[in-house]
Structure 1
Amino acid sequence: MQNVNVELVAGDLVFPGLGFEGRKIARLSTRSPLVPTCNKNYKPCPRMLNIALTWMFAPKRNTSFSLFGETGTGKTEFWTYICDKLNWPMVIVSVSESLKPESVKSGLVMRNGNTHHELSAAAQAAEMGAMLVLDEMDKGSLDFLAALHPLMEYKGLPLEKQGRVITPHPLFRLVATCQTNGCGDLTGRYQSTSSLDEAVRRRFMWLESKYPAPEVEYEILLAEAPKIKSKVLRMMARFAEHCRNALDADDSSEHRVFSALSTRIMVDWVRMQSLMKDFSIAEVFDIVFLNACELEDKQTFTLLAELAFGEQWLQPAF
């Protein structure tokens, strides 16, 4: 991808309805096999999109970009959406504490009975000019993330075993998703995450990814399940808002929960509701979400649902 063709396109054609009217957006004129396809019903936050694009197209970068927030807010989908719209190749590395520092550069592979060193996904992304997504970066070990420091700053990545240095392509971008802001989990919901050291945190910009407003979530649910009654979908979106308020409530609140009712779960709910037409709203919600909650949360979610839905809660959605 060293030679790429870039075209300037009207902003409202690339990002319709998101406030880009009258602006020109640069995108790649051809799509490679590494360009992802976004969920057609995904709706990005216009403010987040504007901030991310400003960073992506800045004349210079010496820091990377991380989205953090509760599970199911669409952090990975956000980067997928941008790459899809801009024809930008994307490489995702699912980060875990088992990843070793040496895996940042290359690994041994067997081909035709012979062992070869093959560039890692991170190194390939830097060399070809793709967006490298460190998915759930706050699950990574300190050693693994330290090995990524050069790429986080867009500096050369030395490959000692090959005797060369990878100079990041001008179109290379390094982004991350995290459940936390790098300072560790303070909620008890994301116990597999760890606190990132200062050297990693200060190599990133940090932007919080939040759940959509009820009206936006209603539009998402309507696009996923257009046959469910409109008033029921609005009840669902409002119920989700009440549940998230309860998630953020302090210990003195009458309604406090510890399980996150994400947009991803809401989409699963309406999809299953559409397939299980004879089941009540409550029955499908139990299967999709409630059965995996702690007893205290179950009681609070049920109370919030009864307040939001009334008699409709125990009836089908059609």
Structure 2
Amino acid sequence: MNTPPELNRLDVRSVFGIDSPLKVTAFRERSEHVPDIDPDYRFNREVTLALLAGFEHNRRVMLQGLHGTGKSTHIEQVAARLNWPCVRINLDGHLSRLDLVGRDAVVLRDGQQVTEFQPGIVPWALQRPVALIFDEYDAGRPEIMFVIQRLLERDGQFTLLDQNQVIKPHPQFRLFATSNTVGLGNLNGLYHGAQQLNQAQMDRWNIVATLNQLPPEQEMAIVRARVPSMRDEARQAQLQAMVQFANLTRQGFKVGDLSTLMSPRSLISWAENLDIFGDLQLALYLSFINKGDESERPVLGEYFQRCFDQELGTP
């Protein structure tokens, strides 16, 4: 169908900045579906190696972890440096089986209305050098999950029953997924809508990697990369205290003192809002505190006092 893409080999250490002697396959040319490169992105070594194994060896990789840790972005930034086209699909409640597989549609041919089959995203991606990413994988409805199950076989062919057609995967087709849980459902009440996944399907994922809390130094580096004003030497003590506060909320969540936690995404929003409003406490309320239960504010006030040596007032 399409002209095979030209490939080359990249050195993992020089491209991703992680300690590894590996080399990986990449495309020579970028296409419209290749994500943009974020030059400031910091790669987690374990997760990066897992994703590179997926791209290089056609392994099915699931990336799980807490919300806001940048799971989908991590996959996209690996793909961006490999010039590998990506398509992200969110498995929300509005996605139907027909969206994945395809459906009959009325089209205009030579001035006549005719009915013909329009392929869904799965057969379209399966026939191309594309990395298909299923976001919020553990929120997928059962009828959706059984469509995906056959794709999890390494050389799994996809059957379009209505068309009496069997589609063989393109040699450079890859499959990834992100999830907030590892298929166990909404055990802690944090992720409403997360389903308990069929363990026979979970078993088909070749690699499951975890992306949760980052070391403080890495998290500070990410905030500095996203918010240029935080690179100022005079603001490093403040940034360190902000990261410490975020980590305290995560510990508080684990022991049940808080019903929510500050994700890296919320931490970045705090820094951005601090730039906008010039008020540390107001930015904190707008970025994080107002999202939680008001009864938990004394606990947050204690964390704030510990990190910034000042009382947390009201907005």
What TM-score do you get using the length of structure 1 for normalisation? 0.88
Inter-partner Cα distance in structure 2 for 1:9 and 1:67: 23
The reply on whether 1:185 has 2:186 as its aligned counterpart is yes
Cα 1:103–1:49 change in 2 (3 A) is same
Alignment of 1:207-246 (within 5 A): 207-228=209-230, 229-246=235-252
- Taking structure 1 as reference, are residues 2 and 193 closer, same or farther at Cα in structure 2, changes over 3 Å only? farther
RMSD over aligned Cα, in angstroms? Answer: 2.0
Residue 310 and residue 119 in structure 1: after superposition, are their counterparts in 2 closer, same or farther (change >3 A)?
A: same
**Would the aligned equivalents of 1:259 and 1:297 in 2 still touch at CA under 8 Å?**
no
| Residue 288 of structure 2: aligned partner | 289
Q: Secondary structure at the match of 2:62?
A: strand
Corresponding residue for residue 169 of structure 1: 170
**Residue 116, structure 1, aligned to residue 116, structure 2:** yes
Q: Which amino acid aligns with 2:78?
A: I
1:109–1:115 contact (8 Å) kept in structure 2: yes
- CA offset digits 1:264-304 (Å, max 9, x no partner): 11111111211222xx2111110111112112332222221
Q: Percent identity at matched positions? A: 23
| Aligned partner of 1:99 among 95, 98, 111 | 95
Counterpart amino acid of residue 130 in structure 2: A
- 1:23 and 1:149, CA in 2 relative to 1: closer, same or farther beyond 3 A? closer
1:93 touches 1:122 (CA, 8 Å); kept in 2? no
Counterparts of 1:264 and 1:111, CA distance in 2: 43
Q: The residue matched to 2:43 in structure 1 has which SS?
A: coil
Structure 1: 5+ residue stretches without partners: none
Partner in structure 1 of residue 62 of structure 2: 66
Does the 8 Å contact 2:41/2:225 carry over to 1?
Answer: no
Q: Matched residues in 2 for 1:10 and 1:150: separation?
A: 33
Q: Following the alignment from structure 1 to structure 2, what is the Cα–Cα distance between the partners of residues 2 and 151?
A: 23
2:50/2:61 contact within 8 Å kept = no
Following the alignment from structure 1 to structure 2, what is the Cα–Cα distance between the partners of residues 195 and 248?
21
**Offset of residue 29 of structure 1:** 0.6
Q: Are the structure 2 counterparts of residues 35 and 109 from structure 1 closer, same or farther at C-alpha, using a change threshold of 3 Å?
A: farther
Give the counterpart letter for 1:91 in structure 2.
V
Letter of the aligned partner of 1:215 in structure 2? E
Could you list the runs of 5+ residues in structure 2 that have no partner in the other structure?
A: none
Q: Does the aligned pair in 2 maintain the 1:107–1:120 contact within 8 Å?
A: yes
Q: Name the CA distance, whole Å, in 1 between partners of 2:263 and 2:114.
A: 47
Separation (CA, whole Å) in 2 of partners of 1:302 and 1:311? 9
